[in-house]
Chain A
Amino acid sequence: MLSSLLMTVIAVAGMSIAITATYVITDGLHDNMGERFIVEDVWFTGDYDQISLYLRNVGKVSIKVAAVYVNRTGQSFTPSLELEQGKHDWLTVPYDWSAGSVYEVKVVTRRGTIVVDYYMSPS
């Protein structure tokens, strides 16, 4: 009698943990799959010392920019950009660029979505 009750409690507890874990994992997958964003514009600005990126969230979930790479080197950026669905804003990357050169710019979100392309600086 007691052992049956104990087994039932263990089964319910175990499966509750499994259901919670499933919810957490699938919710993460759900958000990963729903991320889409584009780099609308890249502007080589400043006194050859800054690259501005204009990002637009075209996905189904909000995004947060985690890293920006220029020529495969991580760069600092401002502001700490978080875009809700359909929102758009500038991201500024301090970077010493030279005229007429090609740069690979890669933007990575917190969930790991990557947008990468080559951009040529003005001559």
Chain B
Amino acid sequence: MWTITCRRLKRDRRGISNIIVVTLSLVIILAIVSNVVLWNYEMNQLDWEKMKENVVITNVERETEPQFTFQNDGSLTAHLVSLWIINSTDHQHYDINVFINSAETETYHSSDILLPTGNYTVKVVTERGNTAVYSGS
């Protein structure tokens, strides 16, 4: 069977270019579908996760070192990566690394963080790009 097919191909070579074009066209279509559609699906997933995330700063206390209480009201685990202490004269940025499970509350404190006197705003940013704010004095 294979020998007969090879003989036919040798005898009539006019069809080979058509076969190559059709085969490679299918490869191109497959490349487009896999690269664009699947990546688009992954990015939609990322956006969906960002929308589902909901972190709240419930309390900030001035103890010996400032203490921040975060609550995750979303359905996904939140990863807090950035903390801001903002007042009228300064914007202090701190890199943090806090994970909060869904529906849980986490307390964070650090001796490196300085709370200013007077009015201030605390802002926390998640790895997915959501922000929670808290105003205190």
**A→B interface (CB under 8 Å):** 1, 4-5, 7-8, 10-12, 14-16, 18-19, 22-23, 26-27, 29-30, 33-34, 36-38, 40-41, 43, 52, 54, 56, 58, 60, 86, 88, 122
Residue of B nearest to A33 (CB): B43
Contact with A along B76-90 (1 / 0, CB 8 A): 000001101010100
A22 near B31 with CB under 8 A, answer yes
B24 near A19 with CB under 8 A, answer yes
Contact with A along B13-33 (1 / 0, CB 8 A): 110111011001101100110
Separation of A26 and B27 alpha carbons in the complex (Å): 13
| Distance (whole angstroms) from the CB of A33 to the closest CB of chain B | 5
**B→A interface (CB under 8 Å):** 13-14, 16-18, 20-21, 24-25, 27-28, 31-32, 35-36, 39-40, 42-43, 46, 81-82, 84, 86, 88, 91, 93, 123, 125, 127-129, 131
Contacts of A58 in B (CB 8 A): 127-129
Count of CB-CB pairs between chains A and B under 8 Å: 91
11 contacts between A and B (CB under 8 A): A7-B17, A8-B17, A14-B21, A15-B25, A18-B24, A19-B27, A22-B28, A38-B125, A58-B128, A60-B42, A60-B46
Task: From B21, B36, B82, give the contact of A29 (CB < 8 A).
Answer: B36
Separation of A88 and B81 alpha carbons in the complex (Å): 11
Task: From B21, B28, B32, B91, give the contact of A11 (CB < 8 A).
Answer: B21
| Distance (whole angstroms) from the CB of A111 to the closest CB of chain B | 13
A15 near B21 with CB under 8 A, answer yes
Q: Other than the known A41-B86, A43-B91, A58-B128, what 8 A-B pairs have Cβ atoms closer than 8 Å?
A: A1-B13, A8-B17, A11-B16, A15-B24, A22-B31, A26-B35, A33-B39, A38-B125
